[in-house]
Amino acid sequence: MKKFKVVILFIWALFASCTQVDFKVVATASSPTKREIKAKLKLLNKPSVKTIKSEDGDIIDCVDIYKQSAFDHPALKDHKLQKIPDFLIESKNSSNLQTKSIVFQTWQKNGSCPEGTIPIRRIRTEDLSRAASLNLFGRKPIMHFMKSTNNTNSNYPIVNGSFAYVPENRTKAFLVTVGYSYIGAEAEINVWNPRVDLPDDFTTAQIWLKTGNGPQYFESIESGWQVNPKLYGDRSTRFFAHWTTDSYKSTGCFDVVCPGFVQVGQVVLGGAITPISYSYHTQKEIPVGMYWDNSGNWWLKVNNHIVGYWPAKLLSGLSRSAKSVEWGGQVYSPMLKKNTPHTRTAMGSGEAADGRWGNACYMRNLRIKDYSRNLKYPEYVSTRAEEPYCYNVINEAKYGQEPILYFGGPGFKPPYCP
Ligand SMILES: *[C@@H]1O[C@H](CO)[C@@H](O)[C@H](O)[C@H]1NC(C)=O
Ligand SMILES: *[C@@H]1O[C@H](CO)[C@@H](O)[C@H](O)[C@H]1NC(C)=O
Ligand SMILES: *[C@@H]1O[C@H](CO)[C@@H](O)[C@H](O)[C@H]1NC(C)=O
Ligand SMILES: *[C@@H]1O[C@H](CO)[C@@H](O)[C@H](O)[C@H]1NC(C)=O
Ligand SMILES: *[C@@H]1O[C@H](CO)[C@@H](O)[C@H](O)[C@H]1NC(C)=O
């Protein structure tokens, strides 16, 4: 009788282990295994010299500047770290740049990183497990286009012959300039904390610098703020950067969650921004700029601090110049355009552009730099909203005054945005 029981146990154990193996195989195909997550975390989180616990729950690792993950990129194996851009070296009073040192990131209340190190937001297991796959972690989703013979559902500009290419699952309200080679762009971006509705949704207020061949093949570097619970695990407004050299297909990512962006300054990419704006209160803004230098690197600056750069070796056409600049907001969601009900994820402040100062999200002091090297207001600008009844855009350009760009909206709002 005892022997019989043992045999049954043995068979059960064999069966159980088989199902477990089976399960593991399935798990590899869809969601990452523990071992894969551990390996990825080891790659992402470099050893820290000092650790800062931010009151918002973030852990900030101070990492040796020469040991940052950028150098894991194959194109950057022999890359010589550049600590300051050459356009600052050229200018005599570069030291002035760092004087306006106001706290704009939450973690800064709890410490700073020692010299020779850079602050990096630690990625945790739960961050990775929210991603569709480890490979897709921290990247803007791939763009797919609905080919539409009608331009009615949106006034999207991408028209090829009689076809309009309408991007799926994302919507923008923005101002664009084209016509020159751009080697810099900046703006002061008003900071809000808009609602994010569905688990995959995110919302941004940002600047794009792009080059490439049409809507489906481009390189871009981008920066601004976003609310992105899937990436960050909360609904805070966070400073971000993003790059891609193949229209989000396989290269690039947000912040420094993949090798590429070389960080040199004391700003945390993906760090929460504080304080933010409220209706009818003092408006908060962050100046964001991206500037090309003579070696083809693109430098990112926020709040007068150098963050770091996208090395020329990472880029192709962009290492020479950008062919368009865009300023505005983007909402990513599976529930947009033809899919109803429309997502309630908001853009900007959540108010339409008509709300103007104190209500709607704005950008001001929009500037571009061309080969003349002077920062100036772009010559040709046009505004576009893909779903103007959900999120709109107004460029308020009164004669003799600095133009102000307003954009945003609440998303779902029947009957206009059903
Ligand atoms: C930079 O230096 C020049 C010449 O000394 C001076 O005129 C200018 O005001 C300075 N700029 C700033 C921002 O301090
Ligand atoms: C961070 O700093 C704030 C303000 O100084 C303080 O109240 C809080 O306790 C600190 N948090 C940690 C984790 O040290
Ligand atoms: C074009 O728009 C009209 C009116 O909105 C609609 O009835 C028609 O189905 C659309 N055609 C295509 C091909 O999308
Ligand atoms: C426009 O359409 C033609 C023919 O369908 C295609 O070859 C070309 O790549 C398209 N251009 C863009 C920018 O999408
Ligand atoms: C858009 O969202 C739907 C629903 O989640 C998804 O099936 C589809 O693959 C998405 N398309 C793109 C291009 O991401």
DSSP 327-374: EEEEEE-SSSTTSSSPP---BTTSS-GGG-TTTSEEEEEEEEE-TT--
pTM of the entire predicted model: 0.85
Ligand 5 atom nearest to 167, measured from its CA: 13
pLDDT at 19: 36
In sequence order, which residues have a C-beta less than 8 Å from that of residue 41 and are 6 or more positions away? 123, 124, 125, 128
pLDDT (average), residues 207-222: 91
Q: Whose CA is nearest to atom 9 of ligand 3?
A: 150
For the chain, percent of residues with pLDDT exceeding 70: 84
Alpha carbon of 92 to ligand 1 centroid (Å): 8
What's residue 145's pLDDT? Answer: 82
Tell me how far the alpha carbon of residue 388 lies from the centroid of ligand 1, in angstroms. Answer: 44
List 180's β-bridge partners, or say none: none
- Give the pLDDT confidence score for residue 113 in this predicted structure: 96
pLDDT in tens, 62-71: 999 999 999 9
Residue 40 · residue 32 · CB < 8 Å: yes
Minimal CA–CA distance to 235: which of 244, 243, 225? 225
pLDDT at 332 over 80: yes
Q: What pLDDT is stored for residue 214 in this prediction?
A: 75
Amino acid at 62: C
96 lines ligand 1 (CB under 6 A): yes
Q: Is the CB of 338 under 6 A from ligand 3?
A: no
Please state the rounded mean pLDDT for residues 360-387: 94
Rg of the chain taking only CA atoms, in angstroms: 23
23 Rama sector, left if φ>0, alpha if ψ -120 to 50, beta otherwise: alpha
Mean pLDDT of the residues in the chain? 87
Say if ligand 1 is within 6 A of residue 92 CB.
yes
For residue 393, name the pLDDT band (cuts at 50, 70, 90): very high
Of the chain, the percentage scoring pLDDT greater than 90 comes to: 76
Domain ranges of the chain: 46-408
Cα 146 to Cα 14, 95, 142, 175, 340: the distances in Å are 50, 50, 13, 22, 16
Q: Per-residue confidence at 58, pLDDT binned at 50, 70, 90? A: very high
Task: Name residue 98's amino acid.
Answer: Q
